[in-house]
Chains A and B, each alone.
Chain A
Amino acid sequence: MNQLKNFTKGLIKENPVLVLVLGTCPTLATSTSVINAIGMGAAATVVLLCSNVVISALRKVIPDKVRIPCYIVLIAGFVTMVQMLVKAFAPALDSALGIYLPLIVVNCIILGRAEMFANKNKVFDSAIDGLGMGLGFTLALFLMASIRETFGAGTFAGFPIPVLYENHISILTMAPGGFFVFGLLIACVNKFGKHKPKKKDFGCEGCPSAESCGGSCEEKKEEAAK
């Protein structure tokens, strides 16, 4: 039962993109078409699942002081593996995702889950958590890409949609459309989500650099609030 909860929380209640607001760069950049979004989501899910499992298995071996560098090396290793697999079996996806494939290394979702979940929990729970969060990421990307592709290009996964194809709003597939659709989606989550919008939008709890920065961003926020 507990496992099921761990799995579903990543999908909706703690969706990494729409609720925790992590990994914004790949979300905005690869959601121009549904195919790219699913490819990016799948690649990140594989990395997240593998890194969560390995980090959880090694949580007693890795010394606390050097854990962040260790995590980064492990994650970079898995990213390299995924990169090579995509290059070999889906070269079209590789050229579509381009720079964002190696940049999964610095995706806050992956380091964030390692720091918040995998280094405190058992291997199986961490695997479930990684899978749930990865699918949540894919779901958010898919949702955003559906909106941007349907209205921006008038196609869905490459197939033209009758009326929209002739009257597409091409700005939605460009950079400003990405910011705008993302803003709208988060506003929808705030409106229809069960809990009220949090005061801390960029809280330190999700930030992997929180410890090293010593909450300096948090202090600034409080200053700004005054």
Chain B
Amino acid sequence: MTKLIIILLSAVFINNYVLSRFLGICPFLGVSKKLDSATGMSLAVIFVMLIATAVTYPIQVFLLDPLNLGYLQTIVFILVIAALVQLVEIVLKRYVPSLHKSLGVYLPLITTNCAVLGVTILNVQDYPVNEATTFWWGFAESMVNSLGSGLGFFLAMVMFSGVRSAIEGNDVPESFKGLPITLTAAAITSLSFLGFGGIIENLFA
């Protein structure tokens, strides 16, 4: 149990996907202008990360590994994620229209989001099934890691949309207008996350 909490906390704070692993930078810079769109996008990312892991992890364990097809990983994962996102969108549109209304516009954008493909590949690398772990334990670890990564993305997006609204009214030098000042602000936000380094070792010591 402690191990699962450690995985969750380190995915949210220490190995934050956006601010220290540089995955999912495009939505981080593109959709973080307003708080509500930042929240919608991050919720959609958490949702897709969880279902993508739930599908790709068994595929790797029961299909690719026994058949020695590990080299097809990239192709299979990207196709499964793309098909899954489409399917989820159709299902949501038909049965949960209210949720589709709030998450719908962000779902297609997520297909080519490197954070989602990244989390599925890292899960099968970091939490493999071997003699020491059973399938269900590895699966649980992967799901917790996906949840933590999604929450970390959410945290970074919400924090950064606050930072950006503070920049909005400022007098910025001409050449720094737009993207450069946003990136500089992202650097400072990312600096604050460096402070979390090392908390995990001491938290459960």
Contacts from A to B (Cβ < 8 Å)? 21, 24-26, 28-29, 69, 72-73, 76-77, 79-80, 83-84, 99, 102-103, 105-108, 111, 171, 174-180, 182-184, 186-188, 190-191, 197, 201-202, 208-209, 212-214, 216-217, 220-221, 224
Q: Kindly state the separation between the CA atoms of A205 and B114 in the bound complex, as whole angstroms.
A: 19
A187 contact set on B, CB distance < 8 A = 175-176, 180
Other CB < 8 Å A-B pairs besides A76-B74, A183-B182, A183-B187, 17 of them? A24-B26, A25-B24, A29-B23, A105-B78, A106-B113, A175-B20, A175-B190, A178-B22, A183-B179, A183-B186, A197-B177, A209-B109, A209-B111, A212-B109, A216-B105, A217-B30, A221-B33
How distant is B198 from chain A, measured CB to nearest CB, in Å? 14
Q: Kindly state the separation between the CA atoms of A77 and B73 in the bound complex, as whole angstroms.
A: 10
B79 contact set on A, CB distance < 8 A = 69, 72-73, 76
How distant is A215 from chain B, measured CB to nearest CB, in Å? 10
A180 contact set on B, CB distance < 8 A = 183-184, 187
A72 contact set on B, CB distance < 8 A = 78-79, 82
Does residue B97 face the partner (Cβ distance < 8 Å to A)? Answer: no
Q: Which residue of B lies closest to A183 (CB)?
A: B183
Jot down 19 A-B pairs with beta carbons below 8 A, ordered by A. Answer: A25-B25, A69-B79, A76-B78, A76-B79, A80-B75, A99-B121, A106-B112, A108-B26, A175-B22, A176-B190, A177-B187, A179-B186, A183-B179, A183-B182, A183-B183, A197-B177, A202-B30, A213-B108, A217-B31
Q: Which residue of B lies closest to A190 (CB)?
A: B175
A69 contact set on B, CB distance < 8 A = 79, 82
CB of A179 within 8 A of CB of B78, answer no
Interface of B is mostly: helix
Does residue B181 face the partner (Cβ distance < 8 Å to A)? Answer: yes
Select which of B71, B186, B193 is within 8 A of A80 by beta carbon. Answer: B71
CB of B75 within 8 A of CB of A73, answer yes
CB of A183 within 8 A of CB of B180, answer yes
Q: Which residue of B lies closest to A224 (CB)?
A: B33
A208 contact set on B, CB distance < 8 A = 112
Q: A29-B21, A106-B114 are in contact. Are A213 and B71 (CB under 8 A)?
A: no
A214 contact set on B, CB distance < 8 A = 105
Does residue B199 face the partner (Cβ distance < 8 Å to A)? Answer: no
Select which of B34, B114, B176 is within 8 A of A224 by beta carbon. Answer: B34
Q: A99-B118, A209-B108 are in contact. Are A197 and B175 (CB under 8 A)?
A: yes
How distant is B84 from chain A, measured CB to nearest CB, in Å? 13
A84 contact set on B, CB distance < 8 A = 71
Q: Kindly state the separation between the CA atoms of A121 and B193 in the bound complex, as whole angstroms.
A: 46
Does residue B117 face the partner (Cβ distance < 8 Å to A)? Answer: yes
CB of A184 within 8 A of CB of B22, answer no
Considering residues A28, A80, A187, which has the most beta carbons from chain B within 10 angstroms of its beta carbon?
A187
